[in-house]
Amino acid sequence: MKNLEDRPRAARCGVLLLLALVAGCASQPADDASRAAASAPQTVPAAELRLSEFFKLPVGPRGLEPTDKLRGLAGKRVRVQGYLVKEEEPFPGLVMLTPVPVTLAELADGPADYLPPATLFAHADGENANKILAYRPGAWTLTGTLELGSREERNGRVSYARLNLDGAGSIKAPGNTVPVFLEPGAVEHAHHH
């Protein structure tokens, strides 16, 4: 192997410049990198998570058990695709995403429903937290931070997996159309006619 002195002057300067740049970057405080990452959480790529990856199959003697992938993604940004549950009485700021289309008839059936175990409860934030996401048939894609653990939701159901949405831009409606948020009164009025 040749020594640095044996290389042409331009090559030596290039190597020295590269080493100086690397050393300069390495000397930056770690706090700057941490602050930059914290100030731009939406730039963190979202991991793909399928609803079929929520629980181990086949179901064993202990019942439903979360997969290692689901548990490993807790607290991280994920992107999930599924179907919005069509509800008679939707709650502001809350939607449920399932692997198959589901319609809930709360008025007729009460709490009896056919929600699959892999139901993701998604929570809107900001100005959309008090609005209702208008139902549209087809596959939706939601992106946000995954949260796990049993919790009673505003609609009276108990969730295990929740997605705190990044904002309206984190919701992709079927056919890449723009999601529509309605005031709660507008939805109630539509149901009574």
Domains of the chain by residue range? 4-39, 45-191
At position 43, the amino acid (one-letter code) is T
Query: Is 95 a residue whose pLDDT tops 80?
Result: yes
- CATH code, 45-191: 2.40.50
Mean pLDDT score, 30-52: 63
Closest alpha carbon to 114 in 122, 106, 104, 123? 104
Q: What pLDDT does residue 143 have?
A: 96
Query: Is 30 a residue whose pLDDT tops 90?
Result: no
Q: What pLDDT does residue 31 have?
A: 41
Specify the DSSP class assigned to residue 141: E
Query: Is 81 a residue whose pLDDT tops 50?
Result: yes
Alpha-carbon separation of residue 44 from 40, 62, 173 (angstroms):
8, 35, 22
Mean pLDDT score, 42-68: 92
Closest alpha carbon to 166 in 139, 126, 110? 126
Per-residue pLDDT reduced to its tens digit, 134-160: 999 999 999 999 999 999 999 889 999
Tokens found for residue 130: 């008090």
- Residue 27's pLDDT band (cuts 50, 70, 90): very low
Q: What pLDDT does residue 14 have?
A: 38
Q: What pLDDT does residue 32 have?
A: 42
Alpha-carbon separation of residue 73 from 40, 79, 120, 146, 162 (angstroms):
19, 11, 14, 7, 12
Give φ, ψ of 63 to 5 degrees.
85, -155
